[in-house]
Structure 1
């Protein structure tokens, strides 16, 4: 089991941070490894919404679909995928933090086809990538990226 939690303070109102981060169209702008995203259904984002992503991980291109399982605009987004070698749940939470926003990015899952040892290697790698992603998001939203 892999469970990685990272967080960052962004000097922007919570609504701005949450609206930008929760919009799948913005994912390629702030996720270092995501190259494309595509909504697979119309209408407003909410539970049941599906988004296809293309990403590069460990030198391989991965195509996977996340489904929104919980979405409370401005507070929390939970997405899940059961595809590929690494079924994953990603959770974003946003809270007010001294005039800005504290965003937490969490990833959890059980890598299938990987040994438990591989999970120990993947966890620090994912934490490092998540920190890069949040730093990139902060730079964009604070007008530096």
Structure 2
């Protein structure tokens, strides 16, 4: 199992940052590993909502199904995978820093099977993708 966390300060108000980063329609705009993400249960997003994400991971397409476990705008959003290549949890925390928003994103995953043998590579890839995605979101939100 590994945990990666990244933080970033975005010069926008917390509500706008929360809305952008937690909207499934925006995910592929800021996370380049995501092909698409959609709500698979009755909208709006709330605890219990299910999502499906199509991703490019280590050169291949995979799907993840998620269940939102915590959704408290504009403070926190968390989800746990219910299907995918490895059990994964995702959490975003949003806090005000003056007129800006500090975002902390954490991903915890448990590679199994053959992925266990390359776990450090998987963790580095996840960390890099997360950092790049947050930087891309920052650029989009501050433009």
Instruction: Give the alignment's Cα RMSD to 1 decimal.
Output: 1.2
SS at match of 2:140: helix
TM-score normalised by L of structure 2: 0.94
2: CA distance between counterparts of 1:125 and 1:43?
31
The CA distance in 1 between the partners of 2:74 and 2:115, in whole Å, is 37
Are 2:55 and 1:52 aligned? no
Moved more, 30-39 or 115-124: 115-124
Q: Deviations over 1:88-137 (max 9, x none)?
A: 00100100113200111110021111454422222122111111000110
**Equivalent residue pairs, number:** 143
1:141 deviation in Å?
0.4
State the match for 2:65 in structure 1: 65
Please list every run of at least 4 consecutive aligned residues from structure 1 whose deviation after the TM superposition is greater than 6 angstroms. none
In the alignment, is the contact (CA less than 8 A) between 1:90 and 1:107 conserved in 2? yes
The aligned counterpart of 2:78 is 78
CA distance in structure 2 between the partners assigned to 1:52 and 1:116 by the alignment: 24
